[in-house]
Amino acid sequence: MTSEIEQRAPYVEIRSRHAWRLPRAVWAVVRKDVRSELRTRYALNALAVFALTIVLVVSFYLGPRLASADPLTPALQAALLWIALFFAALTGLGRAFIHEEETQTATLLRLHAPPLAVFVGKWLVNLGLLLLLSVVVSGLLGLLLALRAQNWAMLVLTLLLGALGLSATVTLLAAIIARASARSALFAALAFPVAFPLLAIAMTASEQALIGAPWRQAAPQLQGLAAYAVAVSTAALLLFPYVWES
């Protein structure tokens, strides 16, 4: 009985006094998900293990073959960076809504929080996890594959814009497949075609940051990442209420 009360407590907090205000409702969803993640550490462990596995396997195989003077090295490093981020995000962030369905708390969340607050709250949590993963993967690639950016500001901006678009994509798709039976296969099948333009642009922008290209040359890629993030975020905010309440 006590555990059931503790499980329902975050949802009661969402519906507490003044919780009808969107920022408070969003913050309540964020707090609930952060507390749940700190208790289970599912996403953190999945992200860490998957990213570490990719980087270690690739570094042992390609590490001795990558020469700093080779013009292909920055392109390979940029590709490895975003491949690791993409597949780790699919593994760790896809349970944003699956966990709610498995624990049968989705109904409580529908009753006590507006759909927009639910999406934004879970999006912010996924964004925070993805940004943390970006720092970890970049550090591992720097240690094991000698990743060195000539323009760190451009690389940070690329990672930030890419994380915004990728987290919005993963969060919306997680809501779509939460009730499906073959969730893993469906999630990967939906995520790859949607995220492919983002990955292609992000790899190019990251390569330009690694080689120290001028901002003028990287401007089209950075604008493309920003446009993707805005388009996907807007579409997700408009579509999520129908997905969540269906």
* Count of C-beta atoms within a 10 Å radius of residue 15: 14
Report whether pLDDT(7) > 90.
no
pTM of the model: 0.84
Report whether pLDDT(26) > 90.
no
Q: pLDDT of 160-186, one tens digit each?
A: 999 999 999 999 988 888 776 666 677
Q: Identify the pLDDT of residue 128.
A: 92
Q: Identify the pLDDT of residue 48.
A: 79
Q: Identify the pLDDT of residue 63.
A: 66
Nearest to 208 by CA among 197, 196, 195, 217: 217
User: What does the pLDDT average to over 21-40?
Assistant: 83
Evaluate whether 215 touches 239 at the Cβ level (below 8 Å).
no
In this prediction, residue 66 has a pLDDT band, given cuts at 50, 70 and 90, of low
Nearest to 126 by CA among 184, 79, 166: 166
Q: Identify the pLDDT of residue 178.
A: 76
Report whether pLDDT(244) > 90.
no
In this prediction, residue 214 has a pLDDT band, given cuts at 50, 70 and 90, of very high
Report phi then psi at 44, rounded to 5. -60, -45
Q: Identify the pLDDT of residue 1.
A: 44
pLDDT: which is higher, 237 or 182 = 237
Q: pLDDT of 129-145, one tens digit each?
A: 899 989 988 888 888 87
Q: Identify the pLDDT of residue 165.
A: 94
| Ranges of each domain in the chain | 2-245
